[in-house]
Amino acid sequence: MPLDDRVVLWFDGAIRDHTEPLVRADDHGLTVGDGVFEACELLDGVPFALTRHLDRLERSAAGLGIPVPDRQEVVRAVKEVAEEWGPGLGRARILWTAGPGPLGSEAAWGPGTLVVAVGPVGEPRPVRVAIVPFTRNERGALAGLKTTSYGENAKALAWAKERGADEAVFANTRGELCEGTGTNVFVESDGMLLTPPLDSGCLAGVTRAVVMEWATEEGIDVREQAMPLEALKEAEHAALTSSTRGMVPIVAVDERELTPGPLTEAVADIYTRRHLETPDP
């Protein structure tokens, strides 16, 4: 098997062949998207910011109204796939669903289903983005939750890629800058890094939070601020953050070229250095 196709999978207490059928066909994670997940960087067997990711996994499960997973079991599963994966860079994905249930939207019967997998991930690079014609509903039932109901994101990302972009960016229903399909957005403005507040409907990104904390500690002015979508359309410098990208510059918005900004480059350097020094901030 080529290295790029390698997957290490944990299910029901053990490492499994990732091609083996494991999850029931009536699992609510499949039938109605009734599940939550996290994805974190795995570097040389060490998951980055695992505690923060598990905190958010539990918040998302509670917000979705499904049982919260056993944290000790999740930690054990991550440890086992990390050991099996070995050295190098990977993406660890933790999936928790409500478990088997009716073939409809009524509550699942359970018990919940836990799947943890590691696969390859590319090195971070500058990103071209497209602003999609769809909106993020900041008042929706799933706003701020990281759920497996990812159809909107998949549609938006496909739309962006058809136009030569790497990532899609949403406005919310108020016309404010919100987020990408799997990223948070930062805009450089008047010597500050600005990012939409959580009430914009964006996900509380783990990397977003770490970047804001570390940049502030090192004297860079980073603020949450509601911004019109035009702030990104007109920005000279902007950036994205995510768990597998860290902080990377946006080099095009709807084919309008941008240059990497000084604050983006400074914070990216801070993040690169400190995330190696502090794997569970």
**Each residue's pLDDT tens digit, 236-251:** 999 999 999 999 999 9
Identify the CATH number of the domain defined by range 3-119. Answer: 3.30.470.10
pLDDT at 1: 39
Q: State the Cα torsion 88-91-97-99 to the nearest 10°.
A: -40
Looking at every residue in the chain, the average pLDDT score rounds to 96
**Each residue's pLDDT tens digit, 42-83:** 999 999 999 999 999 999 999 999 999 999 999 999 999 999
Say if CB 113 and CB 23 are below 8 A apart: yes
Of the candidates 281, 254, 230, the residue with the CA atom closest to the CA atom of residue 168 = 254
Is it the case that residue 123 has pLDDT exceeding 70?
yes
Question: What are the structural domain ranges in the chain?
Answer: 3-119, 127-277
pLDDT at 150: 93
The whole model's pTM is what? Answer: 0.95
**Each residue's pLDDT tens digit, 132-186:** 999 999 999 999 999 999 999 999 999 999 999 999 999 999 999 999 999 999 9
Helix segments in the chain, DSSP class H: 28-31, 50-64, 71-85, 151-161, 206-217, 230-233, 262-277
Query: Please, which residues bridge with residue 273 across strands?
Result: none
For helices 206-217 and 262-277, the axis angle rounded to 10 degrees is: 100
CB atoms under 10 Å from CB of 230, counted, come to: 11
Q: Does domain 127-277 have CATH number 3.40.50.300?
A: no
State which H helix or E strand residue 81 sits in: helix 71-85
pLDDT at 4: 60
Please give the DSSP secondary-structure letter assigned to residue 1: -
Alpha carbons 242 and 29: distance in angstroms, whole number: 23
Tell me, yes or no, if the two domains 3-119 and 127-277 fold the same way: no
Q: Mean pLDDT across the stretch 185-207?
A: 98
pLDDT at 37: 98
Q: If DSSP codes are grouped into helix, strand and coil, which group holds residue 154?
A: helix
| Chain length of the chain | 281
Q: If DSSP codes are grouped into helix, strand and coil, which group holds residue 209?
A: helix
Of the candidates 33, 55, 94, the residue with the CA atom closest to the CA atom of residue 280 = 55
pLDDT at 5: 78
- Residues contacting residue 241 through CB under 8 Å, at least 6 positions apart: 183, 184, 186, 205, 207, 208, 211, 247, 248
